[in-house]
Amino acid sequence: MSLKNIQEDVDKWISQWKVGYFEPFEALACMMEETGEVSREINHMFGPKKKKSTEEKKDLADELADTIFTICCIANPLGIDLDEAWKRMLDKFNTRDKERLERK
């Protein structure tokens, strides 16, 4: 019951505006914008210039949250239940991928 709350937060925010949800391709472009900003932050923190700091960790955290927001903007108008998909993923891990890697 975890991603449900997240999806509801997004829905509450979006549903107050006249413009509403974007079309799938537009929402996808937003997701790519945010993924690009995550990349920029990781380049800042760990790239050749390396100016790692608490401030930058917060900036990266913010971009990751923004990306999750755009994921919900794709999922919500399509009626996608992310908790269900998350559970399916964990089930797949625990069956198909159970012996894939070397254990500790």
Binding site for its own copies (CB under 8 A): 2-6, 9, 13, 15-19, 22-26, 28-40, 42-43, 45-48, 57-58, 60-62, 64-69, 71, 74-75, 78-82, 84-86, 88-90, 93, 101-104
Min. distance of Cβ 42 from its own copies in angstroms?
Answer: 5
Please, what is the angle between helix 54-75 and helix 82-95, to 10°?
100
Dihedral angle sign, alpha carbons of residues 34, 40, 44, 46: positive
What's the rounded Cα separation, in Å, for the pair 85 and 71? 13
Contact by Cβ (8 Å): 76, 11: yes
What's the rounded Cα separation, in Å, for the pair 51 and 63? 17
In the numeric block, the tokens 């700091």 are attached to 53
